[in-house]
Amino acid sequence: MKNRDHKGRVVLVTGAAQGIGAAVARAFVEAGEFVVAVDKNSAGLDQIMAELNLEGKRAAAFPLDVSDKVAVEAVVEQIERDLGPIEILVNVAGLLRMGPIDMLRDEDWEETFAVNVSGVFYVSRSVIRRMVPRQSGSIVTVGSNAASVPRMHMAAYASSKAAVTMFTKCLGLENAQHHIRCNVVSPGSTDTEMQRSMWTDANGADAVIVGSLASYKLGIPLQKLASPSDIADAVLFLASDRASHITMHDLRVDGGATLGN
């Protein structure tokens, strides 16, 4: 059954049940768009849906493992059929597996790339096939500043983010002729559950801000962590008409942690 009586453009957000993905979903709803939230975390999806629809039907949700290409195609087809054309895609879904390279398990590497790289590929490919005939659209991938600098014990994560950064730029190059813009937002340390999982004590935030000579990690010149809403604001800008002449760009939102590189 078609349900296209909603207002606003259809915005597909992956990884929308928590952290940056949830903040992105909230930001688009507040901007008047209709958000389709997808995530493996069904309980988290229920929670964000209740919040987004608190003041009227502004969102829909689909449980989805982005690393399952068959499920991805089925969900994208259902969204387009029942809710309308996907005009904006935001790839946020991702996972972190840490450890020294010589101790990293095969499954840690494979699962990281399955979600962080293949998931972005599957969803973007499915959506872009539908955007091309319409000759319009915007795709934003949430990467990481870890894509541009080596990180101790983060080889799988950093490598996966470097891969999707270049993938998104190639996607943008191939589809510029179709008036489809593809950009990257690369957060630094952001106050999310993923960030907190790396802390060893209550001083974790302070340690991140100061940096670590032992792990060759710079601190944050702005002296604070990013909030998920900081990242969402950057995504909103790159997806908007205000960024109509920006494509293949990697926007760092890291408080200066990579010194502008």
Instruction: Domain ranges for the chain, please list them.
Output: 10-253
Which two structure tokens, joined as six digits, stand for 256?
């200066």
For residues 175-192, b (16+ Cβ closer than 10 Å) or e, as one string?
beeeebbbbbbbbbbbbb
Query: Which residues of the chain, if any, have pLDDT below 70?
Result: 1-6, 55, 192, 194-205
| pLDDT value, residue 198 | 60
Q: CA–CA separation, 228 vs 235, rounded Å? A: 11
| pLDDT value, residue 201 | 62
Query: Given 34, 113, 122, 157, which residue is catalytic?
Result: 157
Q: CA–CA separation, 96 vs 109, rounded Å? A: 10
| pLDDT value, residue 183 | 98
Q: Are strands 59-63 and 180-187 parallel, antiparallel or unpaired?
A: unpaired
DSSP 226: B
Q: Is 8 left (phi over 0), alpha (psi -120 to 50) or beta?
A: left
- CATH homologous superfamily, domain 10-253: NAD(P)-binding Rossmann-like Domain (3.40.50.720)
By CB atoms closer than 10 A (0-12, 13-18, 19+), residue 241 is: exposed
Helix (H) or strand (E) holding 232, with range, is: helix 228-239
Q: Phi and psi at residue 217, in whole multiples of 5°? A: -115, 125
Question: Which tens digits make up the pLDDT trace of 4-53?
Answer: 666 799 999 999 999 999 999 999 999 999 999 999 999 999 999 999 98
Tell me, yes or no, if 216 is annotated catalytic: no
| pLDDT value, residue 1 | 38
| pLDDT value, residue 193 | 72
Q: How many CA atoms lie within 13 A of 107 on its CB side?
A: 0
Closest by alpha carbon to 88, among 199, 181, 198? 181
Handedness of CA 102, 145, 52, 10 (dihedral sign): negative
Helices 42-52, 19-30: axis angle to 10 degrees equals 20
